[in-house]
Amino acid sequence: MRSRFANALVARPIRQSRGWVCHECRARTRIRWQHSAVLPSGTEKPYYVTSPIFYVNAAPHVGHLYTLVLTDILKRWHALLGKKSILCTGTDEHGMKIQRAAAKSGQDARTFCDESYKPFETLAREAQVDWDHFIRTSEPDHRFAVQHFWLMLRERGWIYASKHEGWYSVSDETFYPESGVQLALDRATGRKFMASKETGKEVEWTSENNYHFRMSALKDQLLKFYRENPQFVVPHTRMKNLVKEVEAGLQDLSISRPVDRLSWGIPVPDDASQTIYVWLDALINYLTKANYPFQIPGHENSAGWPADCHVIGKDIVRFHCIYWPAFLMALDLPLPKQILTHAHWTLGREKMSKSTGVVVNPFFAINRFGVDCMRYYLALEGGIKDDAIYENSFIIDRYKKGLQGGLGNLVSRVTRYKGWNVRQAVTNSHEPIGQLNEDMSSLLMALPSEASKAMDELDPGKALAQIMKIIYETNAYFQLSAPWDLNKPEDKERLDRIIYLCAESIRICGTLLQPFMPSKMKQLLDMLGVADDARLYSNAVLGSDRDYGEPKSPLGTGAQGVLFPPLSSHF
């Protein structure tokens, strides 16, 4: 006689569902279609970028801030290109780790999550992240999407019931094979324990009945996809490692937990004794906010899916670059176009981690150095391929050299000096662009495409460095030209050319820097008098704007109106 657990999946006919919607949800889908707004035909797919959703078991650290900043820069860059852009971020609120953290705090899981998600939302706001969706996985719409996704997998025969034994890490929320664990020693207490070789986190032996996903059956399809999409994972070194891991073989994946071990999560449909595995649950968040499973016929991409870029840390590559594509392949859903995997920040050469307490409070950092300074520093010095070292002295140095002494100094000298007038220089400079100064003109004409190429390669730090190089070059040109000495009537034409070219450099660089430092670049472009509708990438062309030069507000004297004041003012 079959158990209820086994009967939950046995003898169900495998039927081909229609599009994105399973038979059991089709009625609700039709109702949703009938009440959805009518979209114009040929609606363009928005650029859709996501950050990972963050565990709420502990407070955010500067590593979370870095991920958010990278994601926001990509979103703002594509908005700068004139594209409709969507950013999704949020919090991961299910799983054993959250359940244990709630118990330790003396709260039920719901109350714990209702408080613990707030610092992450506040951080995104204070970091000036222009998000469109802030998802919480405990929300009803996400629960519906996950259960629907489960039913679709089950309908197509991708799920089966089986006993599972193995080493499980609560911290990593994943099973590890025997070859992936080793005996470890806690030096502080002398306690020996089994730990993951990959992460060093403690594992525990688990034997339980649960549901499995037929991951092994998708090995060849995954490898074919990787071959056909060599830029799927950035940087390429992680793509190579990913291919090697899949080539070595894939095991079927346990995708549920007994409810007596994990009660805080989304229940398996039709089987209240099981809770859906947190990583299957969490990954679907990217679909939830793209209106899955309620797609309007003819406008399936109008909410953004497939994602153009997932931004993640290198410690969750397996989940996003193997599990996630496999889940989507199983349902014939479009895969994300690219996944940007960044390295970690280290403090004292040790990886920042909530579990070890090796962290930098991002709120303190923003309050101390300012949000634009932190965004600039993290984007410029953050590691994509290799880990980066976080150090307050480095932030101060980059601020003084790049922002205060570089960009801020240039803006102040060009816009506030009384020996010339920017508006007159813009109006009076009628020479062909190339005659202004061949070297500077060439650099400015090449900059937009060079920065765009770096952004296409998902390397915001490189793009930022290229823009800042032009700032340094402009400062050198300004100093060498010595416009303050050109005070004779016969020097007026030359003076206007110098000031115009420097103003153009500021305008072009300020326009391209908006995704990196949105509030400071708004101030800069206001100081320069650039019209609000002339601040797109298409406007960052040498000689394309002849209407600026009159400040939109008084520049002020002394410290008032200075773009990047001394850091002491932030303490």
- 21 has a pLDDT exceeding 50: no
The dihedral region occupied by 211, where left means phi > 0, alpha psi between -120 and 50, and beta the remainder, is beta
Under 8 Å between Cβ of 468 and 406: yes
Task: Spell out the alpha helix ranges (H) of 106-162.
Answer: 109-116, 118-126, 140-155
**Does the residue 532 lie in any domain?**
yes
247: tokens are 């080539």
**Does the residue 439 lie in any domain?**
yes
d(CA 196, CA 184): 9
Predicted confidence at residue 102, as pLDDT, reads: 94
Chain segment 395-410, per-residue pLDDT in tens: 999 999 999 999 999 9
Give me the number of domains the chain comprises. 1
Chain segment 220-270, per-residue pLDDT in tens: 999 999 999 999 999 999 999 999 999 999 999 999 999 998 999 999 998
| CATH number of the domain that residue 524 is part of | 1.10.730.10
Mean pLDDT of 366-371: 96
Grade residue 216 by pLDDT with cuts at 50, 70 and 90. Answer: very high
d(CA 514, CA 261): 48
**Does the residue 434 lie in any domain?**
yes
Q: What percent of the chain has pLDDT over 90?
A: 73
Chain segment 82-120, per-residue pLDDT in tens: 999 999 999 999 998 899 999 999 999 999 999 999 999
Predicted confidence at residue 32, as pLDDT, reads: 37
**Does the residue 467 lie in any domain?**
yes
Predicted confidence at residue 354, as pLDDT, reads: 61
d(CA 84, CA 86): 7
Q: Which of 184-193, 432-441, 455-464 has the highest mean pLDDT?
A: 455-464
125: tokens are 């706001």
d(CA 2, CA 487): 97
**Does the residue 478 lie in any domain?**
yes
d(CA 234, CA 459): 9
Chain segment 289-330, per-residue pLDDT in tens: 999 998 777 787 899 999 999 999 999 999 999 999 999 999
55: tokens are 């565990």
Q: What is the dihedral of CA 234, 239, 241, 247, to 10 degrees?
A: 160
**pLDDT greater at residue 167 or residue 426:** 426
353: tokens are 């981690």
Under 8 Å between Cβ of 246 and 224: no
**Does the residue 471 lie in any domain?**
yes
Average confidence score pLDDT of the chain: 87
The residue with tokens 């391209």 is: 512
Q: Which domain holds residue 408?
A: 395-564
The residue with tokens 């405990």 is: 138
Q: Which of 135-139, 357-361, 431-435 has the highest mean pLDDT?
A: 135-139
**Does the residue 355 lie in any domain?**
no
**Does the residue 329 lie in any domain?**
no
Grade residue 1 by pLDDT with cuts at 50, 70 and 90. Answer: very low
Predicted confidence at residue 394, as pLDDT, reads: 96
- 485 has a pLDDT exceeding 90: yes
Residue 2, C-beta contacts closer than 8 angstroms, at least 6 positions apart: 10
